[in-house]
């Protein structure tokens, strides 16, 4: 079989870190509950680093790992993200228990609807005192700036080449039964990258790995392969039309022929026919003539060419036909004999 991938081009989000340093603004009150010694006010504030989550991992979120610089007095943090120009209703808040690794608390702020344009966020981290330490003024809320880079479009590629409306052929039996599609993010200046989500309109014809974009031809027909930034009908996406052609072999009839430079039509001309095993009539063929000085070729149909040596030079020519993907090939050797004058 051959898999023809004709793409209407349509990228993708994540994982790059963007950290911002700000004035820590740390203070510690000097009030001391009875029975507890006064604590040194020079306590460092949390350290923040910011990451955007991978789209293919599930709902989009901003991950905020916070280092607890005073675990004896701080049990955790309240983490929020306020978009520029937004109000309280637009604020993202960390939900669920953070992932804790040593002194680092990793919080996730989920989007219900990821922004469709680049958006600046103010990340706020407020320490929460441990029980028995509430009498102290903990470090003030620390803020950092973070820019969420929206996805504008996707560019689908095959073999590292932007496919656009190009057709990629693929054998769907034997070793070459898959084609790897990828999607690049646009604009390319974004500081993150991740998988897109892939889907097929009919996996019985061509299936696609939802994370990797590996396409496999399974049967004759045509399907639409879609790459999406998120699992949402309104998200940025790109699509391609995949046609699976069940061809498994190609031949030429006849495989050799002798022509004369003059004489009757039967002596100077013949029709060369390509035969395809398993063809459904949609396979595109590529024809080549090694020696135009010996024989002329005129197209009759996709599978048939008319060859003539009338008035040509003696010698030989090799006619080659291949499927457009180059997986199958057949040849015909044409020997041209000079007609002797009487």
The predicted model scores a pTM of 0.52
Residue 271 pairs in a beta bridge with: 306
Q: Within this chain, do residues 203 and 175 fall inside the same structural domain, yes or no?
A: yes
Residue 122 pairs in a beta bridge with: 82, 145
**Most confident among 72-81, 107-116, 251-260 (mean pLDDT):** 251-260
pLDDT at 227 (0 to 100)? 85
Cis peptide before 254 (omega within 30 of 0): yes
In the structure encoding, which two tokens stand for residue 248, read together?
């498994």
Residue 273 lies in a domain: yes
Residue 160: what are its φ and ψ, rounded to 5°?
Answer: 80, 0
122-138 b/e (C-beta count within 10 Å ≥ 16 → b): ebbbbbebbeebeebeb
- Over residues 80-129, the pLDDT tens digits come to 999 988 888 889 999 888 999 988 889 988 887 777 677 888 999 988 88
| DSSP 8-class letter at 86 | -
Residue 331 lies in a domain: yes
Element (H, E) at 267: helix 265-268
pLDDT at 165 (0 to 100)? 53
Element (H, E) at 325: none
Which among 89, 114, 148 is the end of a domain?
Answer: 148
Which among 245, 263, 289 is the end of a domain?
Answer: 245
| Separation of alpha carbons 236 and 232, rounded Å | 9
| DSSP 8-class letter at 34 | T
The CATH number of the domain holding residue 287 is 2.60.40.1080
| Residue span of the structural domain in which 296 resides | 249-337
């Amino acid at each position: 079989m051959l898999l023809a991938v004709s793409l209407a081009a349509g990228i993708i989000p994540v994982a790059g870190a963007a950290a911002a340093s700000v004035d820590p603004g740390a203070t510690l009150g000097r009030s001391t509950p009875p029975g507890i010694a006064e604590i040194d006010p020079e306590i460092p504030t949390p350290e923040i680093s910011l990451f955007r989550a991978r789209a293919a991992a599930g709902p989009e979120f901003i991950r905020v790992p916070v280092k607890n610089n005073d675990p004896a007095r701080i049990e955790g943090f309240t983490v929020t993200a306020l978009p520029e120009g937004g109000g309280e209703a637009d604020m993202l808040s960390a939900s669920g228990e953070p992932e804790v690794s040593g002194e680092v608390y990793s919080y996730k702020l989920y989007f219900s609807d990821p922004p469709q344009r680049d958006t600046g966020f103010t990340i706020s981290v407020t320490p929460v005192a441990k029980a028995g330490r509430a009498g102290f003024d903990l470090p003030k809320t620390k803020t950092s700036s973070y820019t969420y880079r929206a996805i504008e479009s996707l560019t689908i590629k095959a073999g590292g080449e932007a496919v656009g409306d190009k057709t990629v052929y693929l054998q769907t039996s034997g070793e070459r039964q898959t084609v790897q599609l990828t999607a690049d993010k646009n604009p390319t200046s974004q500081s993150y990258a991740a998988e897109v989500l892939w889907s097929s309109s009919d996996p019985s014809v061509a299936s696609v790995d939802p994370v990797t974009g590996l396409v496999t031809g399974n049967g004759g027909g045509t399907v639409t392969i879609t790459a999406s930034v998120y699992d949402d009908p309104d998200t940025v996406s790109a699509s391609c039309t995949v046609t699976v052609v069940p061809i498994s072999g190609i031949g030429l009839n006849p495989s050799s022929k002798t022509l004369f430079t003059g004489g009757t039509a039967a002596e100077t001309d013949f029709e060369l026919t390509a035969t395809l095993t398993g063809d459904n009539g949609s396979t595109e063929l590529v024809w080549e003539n090694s020696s135009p000085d010996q024989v002329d070729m005129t197209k009759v149909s996709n599978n048939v060419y008319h060859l003539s040596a009338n008035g040509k030079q003696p010698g030989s020519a090799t006619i080659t036909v291949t499927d457009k993907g180059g997986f199958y090939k057949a040849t015909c050797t044409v020997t041209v004999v000079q007609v002797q004058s009487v």
